[in-house]
Amino acid sequence: MSERPDTSTHPGDWSDDMLWALAAVDTAVLLVDPDGALVHANEAARLLAMRLGDGSTPAQLLARVPDAAWDAAVIDGRWSGDLVVDEPPIVLEARLYCGRGEHAGRRFATFTDVSARSAREGELQQRHDELQRTYRRLAGAQEQLLQSEKMASIGQLAAGVAHEINNPIGYVHSNLGTLQEYTGALMALIEGYANALGADDPASCRDAIRGMRERLDFDFISGDLPQLLSESREGIERVTKIVQDLKDFSRVGRDEAMRPSDLERGLESTLNIVWNDLKYKVRVEKHYGELPLVECHASEINQVLMNLLINAGQSIAERGTISLATGCEDDEAWISIADSGCGIAEESLQKIFDPFYTTKPIGRGTGLGLAICYSIVAKHHGRIEVSSRLGVGTTFRVVLPVRQPAGVADAQA
Ligand SMILES: Nc1ncnc2c1ncn2[C@@H]1O[C@H](COP(=O)(O)OP(=O)(O)O)[C@@H](O)[C@H]1O
Ligand SMILES: [Mg+2]
């Protein structure tokens, strides 16, 4: 029995063969009695204990297992977990086994040095955290880019929008001037009537009143007044609408859930914003089909439509047509914007979605418009199709699924 491991405690009734086998394995194995005291430690356990410090014994190794772990092992039959040793830095994977039934009272523990695995995991975790941070930074940058292109296009449009607002404000202002005159005339007339009523012989005032009505042009005023008022109301409504459209447009879409939205309304209000840039040279045709509500970030889709409308307008040098069409096939809704502009050369077609690709002079083009359109539409699980002929015109078609794939909209909410 000289081969038998030298143990400080009695190995209980574990068989010699069993102890011999344990001596041969690389895993540290500690046999434990039902009270948790060490019964036997194999050679690997003794070597491992020594690595934990000068004179450290298997019993000390066993003492590192928290009582709660043993309690759990008694209930479940087994327990495993990592034990972190600070000095020297070692991570041990401990597995505890408690026998049941005919093996009740049997307990043993194994220990494996998993420092390398644990270090690798730590490193992976660190890399993962770094990637996550980078991802968040990129997402933030992308959001900023989106917002800045949006603001740049609003900047470009500001003059046009100002004009669109100034125009109705101008005639509402002039209408107010006229209304003031009319009010003066009407008050004078009412005063005339009041005087006549108070006169001794009201009938004798009839001619004077008639003359006054004619002089003040009462018939004209009574015809013009309702028109002035409704025209002014329309003007104010138009300004309110443009301001609302601008507000919708400049909203940052982030953190907002995708909602079923009316794409045609989005197209109309976007057209409203860019209208001043288009109205002198472009005739707009509309061929709207029946569109269901489409699940999307409406303000982002409006940004796509705005980019496409501006590009279409810029492609037309003198005079031309922009055709807007919508439709729905299967579970996809589409909007197409076709212009009779300069067209795009075959070899340029594959570059137009690249960020910063532009054929326009500085200040007019950023080259970001279509790149942003592309990423917004891709985020919506849709696509943008282009067809173009040089000198004839270009058609962009935005195709979006009516409903986002399951989970996407909820996840965003
Ligand atoms: N409707 C269009 N007609 C002709 N060319 C277009 C049209 N839309 C886009 N392009 C081409 O694609 C390029 C990239 O467009 P975009 O990404 O919107 O950037 P930008 O308009 O700032 O140049 C434009 O510079 C232009 O050459
Ligand atoms: Mg553009």
Please list the pLDDT of the chain residue by residue as tens digits (413 residues): 344 444 444 466 778 888 889 999 999 999 999 888 999 999 999 999 998 887 889 999 999 999 999 999 999 999 999 999 888 889 999 999 999 888 888 899 999 999 998 899 999 999 999 999 999 998 888 777 777 776 776 666 676 777 778 888 999 999 999 999 999 999 999 999 999 989 888 888 889 999 999 999 999 999 999 999 999 998 898 888 778 777 766 665 555 678 999 999 999 989 988 888 898 899 999 999 989 999 998 888 988 999 999 999 999 999 999 999 999 999 999 999 999 999 999 999 989 998 778 898 876 777 888 988 998 899 899 999 999 999 999 999 999 999 998 766 555 54
Q: How many angstroms separate the CA atoms of 271 and 278, rounded? A: 9
Does 200 reside within a domain? yes
Q: Give yes or no for a contact between 207 and 154, defined as CB atoms under 8 angstroms apart.
A: no
266 and 186 together in one domain: no
Does 143 reside within a domain? no
Where in the sequence is the domain holding 84, given as residue range(s)? 16-113
Looking at the structure of the chain, the number of domains it has is: 3
Assigned token pair, 253: 């879409």
Provide the CATH number for the domain around residue 30: 3.30.450.20
237 and 285 together in one domain: no
Does 192 reside within a domain? yes
279 and 319 together in one domain: yes
> Ligand 1: which of 322, 370, 384, 396 to mutate, judged by most atoms within 8 Å of the beta carbon?
370
61 and 182 together in one domain: no
Does 223 reside within a domain? yes
- 399 Cα to the center of ligand 2, angstroms: 19
96 and 162 together in one domain: no
Could you please report the per-residue DSSP string of 47-84? Answer: HHHHHTSTT--HHHHHHTS-HHHHHHHHHHSEEEEEEE
100 and 75 together in one domain: yes
Q: Which of 252, 273, 297 is the last residue of a domain?
A: 252
217 and 274 together in one domain: no
Assigned token pair, 80: 């495993």
Q: How many angstroms separate the CA atoms of 300 and 256, rounded? A: 11
Does 266 reside within a domain? yes
Assigned token pair, 272: 């409203």
374 and 266 together in one domain: yes
345 and 398 together in one domain: yes
Q: Which of 197, 223, 252 is the last residue of a domain?
A: 252
Assigned token pair, 173: 């202002």
H-state helical runs in 279-356: 298-315, 346-349
Does 355 reside within a domain? yes
Any ligand 1 atom below 6 A from CB of 153: no
Q: Residue 343 CA: which ligand is closest?
A: 1
Does 140 reside within a domain? no
181 and 62 together in one domain: no
- 367 Cα to the center of ligand 1, angstroms: 7
CA distances from 225 to 2, 31, 68, 123, 183 (A): 122, 105, 90, 80, 10
Does 133 reside within a domain? no
User: If we measure between CA atoms, which residue out of 389, 307, 310 comes closest to residue 344?
Assistant: 389
Q: How many angstroms separate the CA atoms of 186 and 164, rounded? A: 33
Collapsed DSSP state (helix, strand, coil) of residue 45 = helix
Q: Which of 215, 232, 252 is the last residue of a domain?
A: 252
User: If we measure between CA atoms, which residue out of 225, 246, 222, 218 comes closest to residue 162?
Assistant: 246
- Residue 155: phi and psi, rounded to 5, are -60, -45
263 and 220 together in one domain: no
Provide the CATH number for the domain around residue 281: 3.30.565.10
71 and 174 together in one domain: no
Q: How many angstroms separate the CA atoms of 400 and 382, rounded? A: 4
